[in-house]
A = this chain, B = another copy of it.
Amino acid sequence: MFADSSNLTLLLSDPIKLSEILYQHGARERRNRLVKIIEAEALFNKQSKFFLSREQLLQRAFKIQLRLLELLHQHNWTEIEWHHVGQLMDDPLPFTLHEGAFIPVIKNQGTKEQIKEWIPRCERYEILGCYAQTELGHGSNVQGLETIAKYLKHTDEFEIHTPNLQASKWWIGGLGHMCTHAVVQANLILPDDHSKPKGFGPHLFIVPLRSLNDHKPLPGCTLGDIGPKVYGGFGSIDNGFARFDRVRIPRSYMLSRNSKVTSDGKFVPAKHDKLSYGSMVALRAIMPETVGWDVGRAATIAIRYCSFRRQFNPDEHGLERPVITYNSVKRRLFPILAQAYAILFAGCEMKQLYHTMLDRLVNEEDISLLAETHSLSSALKAVSTWDGVRDMEEARKCMGGHGFSAFSGIGHIFANSAPSQTYEGDNYLLCQQTARGILKHVLSGSENKDYLLPRSSTYLNLLKEGSQEFCKARCQVKVATDWLDHNVQIEALSRRAASLVAELVEKFRENIDWNDLNWHCVRVTRAHAELYIINAFIRKINSIEDVAISNILKHLSQILAMHYLTEVSSDLFEIQFVSPEQIRLLRDQFSKSIDDLSPHVLHLTDAFDFTDYELNSALGSRSESPYENLWKAAQADPTNIERKDDVNLEFTKYIKPMLEFHKKIGNSKL
């Protein structure tokens, strides 16, 4: 039952076998083909972008987009190839939201006629759109949006209006400089029976923004870029603002698959609100997998560099120790590697669940998977982005001084991933969603004996034990290796999760204000997600036939589980499930498993099979030594090139006067 760590000696001769498990069928070959096309063109060079200003980055982005369209046409790329090319760019581009939000929202919320009218033009890039929900004053609270869409019966039009500064649309990707159209979320206002205006809450409207002739803002639209972002993240996309001064659009521009407005200004509510809701989780459902790959890139760069880098403790030949052999480096990096694999596997399951849910919803109007998809995607998105972003910065720090060079490559991944903790639902709010879902399970379960729990939540059955029995349960670990047993790990993680849920239920039943529970919701969601991630990892392992591969993945999953357990041992103590001795054994086994993994970490990063182009790292590339790469990258810095060519503006203008300042002031004091 236990993975005997000595099995690991038979390991991975060929990391490509493991790659086949990470990549979906054909994805690797496709990627290789696409990378070859892309990396051949200087325009797509990723290292030189570190030298650019935000404005230059944007110019580069527009150039890139045009070139990509040409390539799309030339190579006749499929949708999946096109998507992959987008990922190779590393940065969101101005048209990212056109494809990722504008088109999908019209497809999902538009009537058949609207889809027929708009989508073909979108898909041929005749118009370029964005998704304009967030305002200066409101993001999370969509109900609080203040932009107005008032129906004018006499002209059969809506008037889109920004009543005050804080109602300005803000953060809208693609809006700053590029888009010609937006889907605008605005409060629908209709006249009531006495012609008094009455609000019907937020709805979606297509609003033309810029002229298709000269690209100037249309009358009534004040548009622009919201400016640079922290860490240089999202530098290539023009997140923008918009203010509308009584801008008129035809009634037919309201997206009306669900609710609609008649020509005499009557509101016709949606039949199935949930139908439209299903597609809203799309972006969130794919985020864990994306983060998984990004953590994989960071782990690969750091593990490769730390295997190369030597410092201290020279051997008899004067060769120092690779820093990856120091236990503080292993302790930091190996769980990150495990995390990358785990998030990828869990993310993959999540994506599948989403597609199954959507299929059933669209084809059978079956909403049974909706709640679980919502709750689980919230939990996995929150926990994977939190941990993933934290891990990227940790991996960067593991590389010492050179990690702080932009050429190290991880800084850029972190900068672009950081806001994933905030958009598509701020993580703290998502935790409340998950916790609410779990709470519902418990409440429904206690009312209805036959209530069926989704796979992610079967641990809630532990709560049926009754609190007496629950409190009596004790961990059965006797020797350190017992902690390798997945059953032992899962039981511990399950009891921790269940006890946190029990506390939530108790507080809820005490009528404590929900807003005072949101910290506890975070703890519940974490426990729920971590348990799910380990379970998904185990399911993946069980599906693998190759013994060498399933052994190494088992080892990796054990490390991750023990990593989680070490972090939350306090929770386990609190329910008296473990003894101090057991936690000491856990720590010992964790250390030992980390050590045992050492010979395999390079293989495990090779299995991600990242090309040098994808890593864009002087420290993590396969082809040359980090020192040579750093040297070459630095030589390409424009300031160095200018000095070589003797164009040294700073010197004559500012450094020379500085060095000669003492002459100017003579003997007087400086």
The interface of chain A, by Cβ under 8 A from chain B, is: 50-56, 58-59, 62-63, 65-66, 69-70, 72-73, 76, 123-128, 134, 136-141, 144, 165-166, 168, 170-171, 176-178, 180, 212, 215, 224-234, 238, 241, 311-314, 320-321, 325-329, 331, 393, 396-397, 400-401, 403-408, 410-412, 414-415, 418-419, 421-423, 426, 428, 431, 515-519, 521-522, 569-570, 573-576, 580, 583-584, 591, 627-628, 630-631, 633-640, 643, 648-651, 653-659, 661-662, 665, 668-670
Is the beta-carbon distance between A144 and B574 smaller than 8 angstroms? no
By a CB distance below 8 angstroms, the chain B residues around A422 are: 397, 400-401, 403-404
Contacts A232-B231, A406-B229, A648-B215 given: A312-B654 contact, CB under 8 Å?
Answer: no
Contacts of A410 in B (CB 8 A): 230
Q: How many protomers of this protein does the assembly include? A: 2
Taking CB atoms, residues of chain B closer than 8 Å to A656 are 215
Contact A665/B630 with A233-B404, A328-B522 known, Cβ cut-off 8 Å: no
Would A650 and B51 be within 8 Å (CB), given that A124-B662, A404-B419, A576-B580 are in contact? no
Asked if A139 and B401 make an inter-chain contact with CB atoms under 8 angstroms apart, the answer reads yes
Contact A144 B320 (CB under 8 A): yes
CB contact under 8 A between A227 and B165, given known A670-B73, A670-B124: no
Give A428 to B328 CA distance when docked, in angstroms. 7
Q: How far is the CA of A433 from the CA of B223 in the complex (A)?
A: 56
Question: Which of chain B's residues have a CB closer than 8 A to the CB of A137?
Answer: 627
Q: Across the interface, do B50 and A177 meet the contact criterion of CB distance under 8 Å? A: no
Evaluate whether A638 and B426 lie within 8 angstroms (CB atoms) in the complex, with A66-B661, A411-B231, A576-B580 already known.
no
Whole-angstrom distance between the alpha carbons of A670 and B76 in the complex? 7
Chain B residue nearest to A503 in the complex (CB) = B584
Instruction: State the CA gap A54–B171 with chains docked (Å).
Output: 25
Residues of B within 8 A of A123 (CB): 670
Cross-chain contact of A634 among B224, B232, B584, B639 (Cβ < 8 A): B224
With A126-B659, A134-B401, A519-B327 known to touch, is A224 a contact of B640 (CB < 8 Å)? yes
**Contact in complex: B62, A230 (CB < 8 Å):** no
On whether the beta carbons of B403 and A312 are closer than 8 Å, the reply is no
Check B227 against A65 for contact (C-beta < 8 Å).
no
Pick 18 A–B contacts, CB within 8 A, sort by A. Answer: A59-B649, A136-B631, A144-B311, A144-B320, A176-B639, A177-B650, A178-B655, A215-B651, A215-B656, A215-B659, A226-B634, A229-B411, A230-B396, A230-B404, A230-B410, A326-B518, A328-B428, A328-B431
Partner of A140, one of B225, B311, B583: B311
Interfacial chain B residues near A180, Cβ < 8 Å:
659
Tell me which of A126, A128, A431, A636 has the highest count of chain B C-beta atoms within 10 A of its own C-beta. A126
